[in-house]
Amino acid sequence: RFCSVSGISKNKAMVERLQHFGVITSSKVAEVMETVDRALFVPSGSAPYDDSPMAIGYNATISAPHMHATCLQLLEENLQPGMHALDVGSGM
């Protein structure tokens, strides 16, 4: 884990922490990650803003926020406004 943001209840604060630790270096990636609230993709009652993978049911997990940020930064020059990226893990 790059950072832990336990107790921080806002998506923006999670992104700022990832920027602080150098995980997010792109302003575009920060903007995108601030726009889509991670809490929408995890079970209620969990800690969606912790930088760790978490169980989402069906024996599956959602990756840690730093992994999503890293993938978006690698894709950044190929993604144009209006495009979408779907992050599907391989389970490995």
List per-residue pLDDT tens for the chain, 92 residues long: 555 554 445 899 999 999 999 999 999 999 989 888 888 888 888 888 999 998 888 888 889 999 999 989 999 889 888 888 787 776 55
Separation between Cα atoms, residue 10 and residue 83, nearest integer Å? 25
Has residue 34 been placed in a domain?
yes
Q: What range defines the domain where residue 19 resides?
A: 5-44+51-78
Separation between Cα atoms, residue 48 and residue 12, nearest integer Å? 12
Has residue 15 been placed in a domain?
yes
Q: Cβ distance 51 to 10 under 8 Å? A: no
Which helix or strand (DSSP H or E) is residue 75 part of?
A: helix 65-75
Query: What pLDDT was estimated at residue 16?
Result: 94
Has residue 88 been placed in a domain?
no
Q: Among 26, 44, 46, 63, which one carries the catalytic annotation?
A: 63
The predicted model scores a pTM of 0.80
Query: What pLDDT was estimated at residue 87?
Result: 77
The upper half-sphere exposure of residue 1, i.e. CA atoms within 13 Å in the direction of its Cβ, equals 12
Query: What pLDDT was estimated at residue 14?
Result: 93
Task: Give the total number of structural domains in the chain.
Answer: 1
Query: What pLDDT was estimated at residue 66?
Result: 93
Has residue 86 been placed in a domain?
no
Query: What pLDDT was estimated at residue 8?
Result: 44
Q: State whether residue 40 is helix, strand or coil.
A: helix
Q: Is 63 a catalytic residue?
A: yes
Contacts of 83 (CB under 8 A, 6+ apart): none
